[in-house]
Amino acid sequence: MILKSLVDSYLANIDINKEKTDELGSSIANAINSGDFKILDVIINLKNEFISEDEKKRQQSLHCLSNILNNLSSATLKKNELNVIFNFYQSKIDELNNMTEILSGFNSLTTMDSVSMLEISTLLNIISNEYEPSKFLTPTRYQTFLILSNIIEKYKIEMKEDPKFLELFVSTFLHIANGEKDPRNLLLSFKINKTITTNFKNIEQFAEDLFDVLFCYFPITFRPPKDDPYKITAEDLKSALQSTIASTPLFAADAFSNLTDKLKASSTVVKSDTLSALNECINNFGAKYCLTEYVPLWNAIKFELMRNSEGGDVGLATIIPGNVNINSDVSNYQLAINIVISLARVLSEFDINAFNKFFNYILGELKPNFKYNKDLKQSSTVLSALGSVNAQSFNKVITNSLPLFLQNTSETNQLKLIIMNLSFFFDSYIAVYGSAEKDMLNNTVIESSLTPYKDEILMILGKALTGSSEVEVTLRTLSIVQFTKMIKMKEFLSEEEVSLIVQYLSETILEDKNKNIYYACLEGLKVISDIYEPIVYEISLKRMLSLLPNEINATINLSEGKTIEKELILKIILDYTTSRHCLVKESIYGICEKLYEIAPLENSNNYCFILITALYTLLENNISLIKDEEGKEIKNTIEDRLLSTLINNSSILNDNHNLNLLSIALFFINASSDRSGHQSALEKINDLFIEKYQIFNKHSRLVIPYTKLISGLDKDCKFNNCDKYFESCIILLQKHSDEIVQFNKLGYLELLMVMSNKWLDEKYVSDSLDNLDWSNLSSINLEILTWITKALVIKNSKYSAGPLEKFVNLLENDKVGDFVAKLFEVFVVDIGSYCSKKGISRSNNVKVLYKQKFFNYVFPEIVSKYKLVTDLNIKSNYLTALSMILKHVPNLLLELVIQELVPMLLEALKMQNADVKISSLETLNSVCEKNSVLTTKYFHTLVPLLLKLLKKSNTNNVRVRLLTMQLLQLIALSVPINYSQSMKNNVLTELLDTLDDPKRIIRKKGIDTRQIYFEIGQTPSS
């Protein structure tokens, strides 16, 4: 028979293969569900085992039956079948060792559809009378909780109708819940408890017992075992317990008194649990209970609020509107404040008079503090918390508290306190009314009880800022911060008042030299321009721009004989306009206007320089902000005039920096403008420079702006006759190489690069490279070759390999090798107006990873050649070329070749060339930071080499000496002590020289380095 074999197989697998028994159990159950067998057949099959003398066998048979029942669907059993099985289990109840299986069977039965009320009641009676929880292990007890939990879920309606049944249930529950300790059972116990208290009335008689069976666990602590199968966390237990305690007002009296008792505990953990439980109770029990309890509650948390151990953190408590989440990370102080807020909210929602009573009580207690200047901060926080609930409470609080401390005084400390306290009430305002946002401005003002004090507050803050001495940094910073906060308060200030604040802040930022105040003002102005950009423009930016003088040497006078440098004004403008559309645009216009006026003046080079710098920085910082339309507008407004100013004024045209920077500024303007206009722009530029100024016929400084301007244009523009101009450019350079000045030559070379990178065909460029005379070693020819090759390199062109190989070969040349070595830097150097940057990708052909490709090609070539030559001068050429490249290659790339690289770097330290040394030292510094093993390996070679670099000489310049000492420090910290100890005295002696170095910065570094070496091997003192 199949069933027989299944059952036997089940019995055989018990305790051996749990998966197998589960599988068998469910397949038998399925067969019963589908009517293939009857449950009674199972019992018959197990009959022998049920009555066996062997207890083990009896247990196994019960296990089997319970498992099958557990898998049955609830509709399968008929009433009479169920009754038989129920009675069967009941008869077994005295077999204590099999209790788990029996209870599990009962549990399955309670979920069946055909179970009767009578049987449920009987079961409850059995559990409460014949089952003694303390005698059984956790899994057994778990079954009883499961049974009760199932019953209460299933029979809520019956319990509501039948008080006797409910009574039986509750007393059974109390019976099993008493003394429970297992976390899994407790979670169920709390859940059942909560279901009882939240679903049924008429349980007052049990309230105390139910509360006791809960509260005895408070505050609950639990550390989960290592591999806890149930994944219960301490947090689960804690929140289940808390929410159960707070579940019903029935517990109110007990909960409040017991919890406030617990607050006297010294442990902060207990306190924190208690405080958050209290908070939840207040939120759930409702105003009726809080009304009677607020006095003892207040008295209980008062200590936490007024004398809290984290005194310094008081100000950090923030007012969180609405329901407060229980978060284990918040401080007790914050939790106590949350209680105050909850109380205030619950009471004011219930009845404003109730709130008033509560408020008056607290106010009465806190009032003396204001009189005696005691715990002001804490008192203000409490009061402002009370006011953060809603408009009503806010008004009540403000009307009663502000008069307590708000008074005009010239006493600094008093003023500081007043301003600090105000801050808390500002927070309440924001909590109640919200913060100001740009899109919701309508220049209306909410009438609140704070409104009447507005003028006085503004006056006090203004006085603190302008009326106090400049030494009072704290006070003045506080005042600025509060001004900023007031701006954030929604619909509190009128536009006139905002203007007033803007004026205060911009005057202060101009006049004050203190860093803190500068940054506070800057932050304030930024916040304000977030919301009220037009006001900041009108009041602040216009004023700053107008302060810039129209003469070169004029001093700028502020009020009261104070002066300011124009550089500082520009710095301020740059600092606070960043990423504000209107401000950026207006500053660009303003500075351009100023430039038009200044450029024609004599000796205005330096003034022009700072204006151009500011313009450049504005454009550069905001390149991603200036979008098509805006870019077009800016281009239309300023480009022509800027260009003509550039061409017509020698202060710009004949000054290398000015010409270069302004040209790049023009590049930015082109790059950020709408691309549809680029074609016509290109034609216009060509007309102007090629036709009118003939830059390809005679060399001219105007090649610089021309090159930069076309760098900014779309590479898809059609450039007619580009190849022709390319050739005439080369001819111009070759012909006039003697007379052309270096600066102009550079412009033409860059132009060659731009043209061949953007508009000329790769093949064409490569062919013209081949056609050029590589045997002509004149410097101009080499430079032409270099720059054209660069165009191919940054494009990752396949044609770049050939020319590069020739360049590497040229390093061997004893005449020009050293010059070629330096030219290697050109290949990898990033030119500001010509690199792969976000927002201007369309304007050129620069590949992001070109340096990697270049390095991977050139490095092995150089290394292998370096190893072959013996001539020191040639070796030096290779090292120089390498160090030129290293300066511009990301460190990540170097790590791959580090083993080969380090010996070469050490060689480079012996070269008599400062640039080579610097580059080598910089690379060694970054190697040393990451790879202490390698550092240790070369320690004995490296340190003596470094010590030689400390002596001042032509090639050991300040930078070399500084980097050397930095490397010495790094070495001391990264090599094992037996290494560093051996060199300690040597290094200390050699460093003595640096103490008498003419440069202060070297002396300082020397002292620091010596200190590190002094400390090597010193036993750390306690």
Partner 1 sequence: MSEFINENPEILDDSQLPTRKNDANDLLLGISDSIANLERKNLLLKIDNSVESEVLQNIELLDKLLALQPVPLLVSDADENESTDMEDDLEESDPIDRQEIFDLIASISDPEHPLSLAQLAIVNLNNIEVIDSGKRDEIAHVIVRITPTITHCSLATLIGLGIRVRLERSLPSRFRIVIILTKGSHQSENQVNKQLNDKERVAAACENPQLLGVVSNMLSTCK
Write down the residue that tokens 């017992």 correspond to.
Answer: 209
Question: Contacts with partner 1 in 514-533 (CB under 8 A)?
Answer: 514, 516
Report d(CA 833, CA 705) in Å as an integer.
11
Q: Which of 571, 736, 865, 984 binds partner 1 (CB under 8 A)?
A: 571
Q: Which is nearer to partner 1, 775 or 1018 (CB)?
A: 1018
Q: Which is nearer to partner 1, 326 or 885 (CB)?
A: 885
Q: Which is nearer to partner 1, 486 or 972 (CB)?
A: 972
Report d(CA 1014, CA 211) in Å as an integer.
67
Q: Which of 88, 350, 589, 609 binds partner 1 (CB under 8 A)?
A: 609
Shortest approach of partner 1 to residue 267 CB, angstroms? Answer: 29
- Rg, Å, the chain Cα set: 43
φ, ψ at 578 (rounded to 5°): -45, 130
Q: Which is nearer to partner 1, 345 or 745 (CB)?
A: 745
Q: Is 2 in the site for partner 1 (CB under 8 A)?
A: no
φ, ψ at 183 (rounded to 5°): -60, -40
Q: Is 78 in the site for partner 1 (CB under 8 A)?
A: no
3-state secondary structure 402-467: HHHHCCCCCCHHHHHHHHHHHHHHHHHHHHHHCECCHHHCCCCCCCCCCHHHHHHHHHHHHHHHHH
Q: Is 995 in the site for partner 1 (CB under 8 A)?
A: yes
Are the C-beta atoms of residues 92 and 46 closer than 8 Å to each other? no
Token duo for residue 941:
């070679």
CA angle centred on 282, ends 277 and 288, rounded to 5°: 150
Residue type, 234: A
Shortest approach of partner 1 to residue 888 CB, angstroms? Answer: 11
Q: Is 164 in the site for partner 1 (CB under 8 A)?
A: no
Give the DSSP H or E segment for 101.
helix 99-110
Q: Which is nearer to partner 1, 136 or 668 (CB)?
A: 668
Are the C-beta atoms of residues 243 and 256 closer than 8 Å to each other? no
The region of 441-449, 567-575, 624-632, 692-700 touching partner 1 under the rule CB under 8 A is 567-575
Q: Is 554 in the site for partner 1 (CB under 8 A)?
A: no
Interface with partner 1: number of residues (CB under 8 A): 69
Shortest approach of partner 1 to residue 573 CB, angstroms? Answer: 9
Shortest approach of partner 1 to residue 778 CB, angstroms? Answer: 9
Q: Which of 78, 156, 542, 657 binds partner 1 (CB under 8 A)?
A: 657
Q: Which is nearer to partner 1, 770 or 1008 (CB)?
A: 1008
Q: Angle formed by the axes of helices 656-672 and 703-711, to 10°? A: 20
Q: Is 848 in the site for partner 1 (CB under 8 A)?
A: no
Q: Which of 250, 570, 702, 968 binds partner 1 (CB under 8 A)?
A: 570
How many residues are given for the chain? Answer: 1022
Q: Which is nearer to partner 1, 649 or 781 (CB)?
A: 781
Q: Which of 876, 883, 980, 1009 binds partner 1 (CB under 8 A)?
A: 876
Q: Is 505 in the site for partner 1 (CB under 8 A)?
A: no
The region of 29-37, 686-694, 812-820, 964-972 touching partner 1 under the rule CB under 8 A is 812-820
The region of 33-41, 171-179, 503-511, 652-660 touching partner 1 under the rule CB under 8 A is 652-660
Q: Is 671 in the site for partner 1 (CB under 8 A)?
A: no
Shortest approach of partner 1 to residue 654 CB, angstroms? Answer: 13
Report d(CA 948, CA 256) in Å as an integer.
78
Report d(CA 169, CA 361) in Å as an integer.
45
Q: Which is nearer to partner 1, 6 or 545 (CB)?
A: 545
Q: Is the peptide bond before 219 cis (omega within 30 degrees of 0)?
A: yes
Report d(CA 211, CA 205) in Å as an integer.
11
Phi-psi map region of 334: left, alpha, beta (phi>0 left; psi -120 to 50 alpha) = alpha
Q: Which of 873, 982, 985, 986 binds partner 1 (CB under 8 A)?
A: 873
Shortest approach of partner 1 to residue 610 CB, angstroms? Answer: 6
Are the C-beta atoms of residues 224 and 232 closer than 8 Å to each other? yes
Q: Is 568 in the site for partner 1 (CB under 8 A)?
A: yes
Q: Is 925 in the site for partner 1 (CB under 8 A)?
A: no
Write down the residue that tokens 């607290």 correspond to.
Answer: 362
Token duo for residue 551:
């003469």
x/- map, 721-760, partner 1, by CB under 8 A: ---------------------xx--x--------------
x/- map, 448-477, partner 1, by CB under 8 A: -----------------------x-x----
- Nearest CA among 974, 982, 892, 983 for reference residue 933: 974
Measured CA to CA in angstroms, residue 436 lies from 355, 525, 576 at distances of 28, 15, 20
Q: Which of 31, 192, 661, 811 binds partner 1 (CB under 8 A)?
A: 661
Write down the residue that tokens 């009578």 correspond to.
Answer: 118
x/- map, 938-977, partner 1, by CB under 8 A: --------------xxxx-xxxx-x---------------
Are the C-beta atoms of residues 182 and 136 closer than 8 Å to each other? no
Q: Is 998 in the site for partner 1 (CB under 8 A)?
A: yes
The residues pairing with 489 across neighbouring beta strands, listed in sequence order, are 435
Residue type, 838: K
Q: Which is nearer to partner 1, 870 or 954 (CB)?
A: 954
Report d(CA 509, CA 525) in Å as an integer.
10
Q: Is 413 in the site for partner 1 (CB under 8 A)?
A: no
Token duo for residue 609:
């320089």
The residues pairing with 564 across neighbouring beta strands, listed in sequence order, are 556
Q: Which is nearer to partner 1, 720 or 778 (CB)?
A: 778
Q: Which of 17, 48, 555, 779 binds partner 1 (CB under 8 A)?
A: 779
Shortest approach of partner 1 to residue 187 CB, angstroms? Answer: 49
Question: Contacts with partner 1 in 893-922 (CB under 8 A)?
Answer: 912-913, 918
Report d(CA 236, CA 780) in Å as an integer.
78
Shortest approach of partner 1 to residue 395 CB, angstroms? Answer: 40
x/- map, 371-390, partner 1, by CB under 8 A: --------------------
Dihedral (CA of 674, 675, 676, 678) sign: positive
Q: Which of 819, 895, 932, 979 binds partner 1 (CB under 8 A)?
A: 819
Report d(CA 181, CA 173) in Å as an integer.
15
Token duo for residue 102:
């029996």
The region of 564-572, 585-593, 671-679, 848-856 touching partner 1 under the rule CB under 8 A is 564-572
Shortest approach of partner 1 to residue 806 CB, angstroms? Answer: 18
Token duo for residue 470:
């400049």
With 0-12 / 13-18 / 19 or more C-beta atoms within 10 angstroms meaning exposed / middle / buried, residue 77 is buried
Are the C-beta atoms of residues 152 and 195 closer than 8 Å to each other? yes
The region of 48-56, 74-82, 362-370, 656-664 touching partner 1 under the rule CB under 8 A is 656-664
- Nearest CA among 885, 811, 810, 830 for reference residue 905: 885
Report d(CA 861, CA 846) in Å as an integer.
24
The footprint of partner 1 (CB under 8 A) covers 471, 473, 514, 516, 565, 567-568, 570-571, 574, 606, 609-610, 613-614, 616-617, 620, 656-657, 660-661, 664, 742-743, 746, 779, 783, 816, 818-819, 822-823, 825-826, 829, 831-832, 873, 876, 912-913, 918, 952-955, 957-960, 962, 992, 995-996, 998-1001, 1003, 1007, 1010-1011, 1014-1015, 1018-1019, 1021-1022
